Structure 1
Amino acid sequence: MGCNRDLENIKENINDVQQKMKNIIDVLGRI
């Protein structure tokens, strides 16, 4: 169970990073 929870946390972290990257790209695209 512990391993599974770690995997879920990693997936959420990856999603957060992807969202931040999209936001940064959007901002750079506006400049």
Structure 2
Amino acid sequence: MDLTEIFCAIDDYCTQQKINWNVKILSPVVRKRN
């Protein structure tokens, strides 16, 4: 693996974790409004 592949793999992982974190944080807010 070269540096670019490692960076892309880390970036993809962080992007996915950010989405998962946002879903966990926002889900209770959505439920409270309904």
What's the C-alpha RMSD, in Å, of the aligned pairs? 1.3
- Paired residues in the alignment total 27
Larger radius of gyration: 2
Q: Which runs of 4+ in 1 moved over 6 A?
A: none
Structure 1 unaligned regions, length at least 5: none
Residue deviations 1:7-26 (CA, integer Å, cap 9, x gap): 11010000000000100000
TM (normalized to structure 2)?
A: 0.67
How far 1:30 sits from its partner (Å)?
1.2
TM (normalized to structure 1)?
A: 0.71
Q: Structure 1 vs Structure 2: percent identity of aligned residues?
A: 26
Structure 2 unaligned regions, length at least 5: 28-34
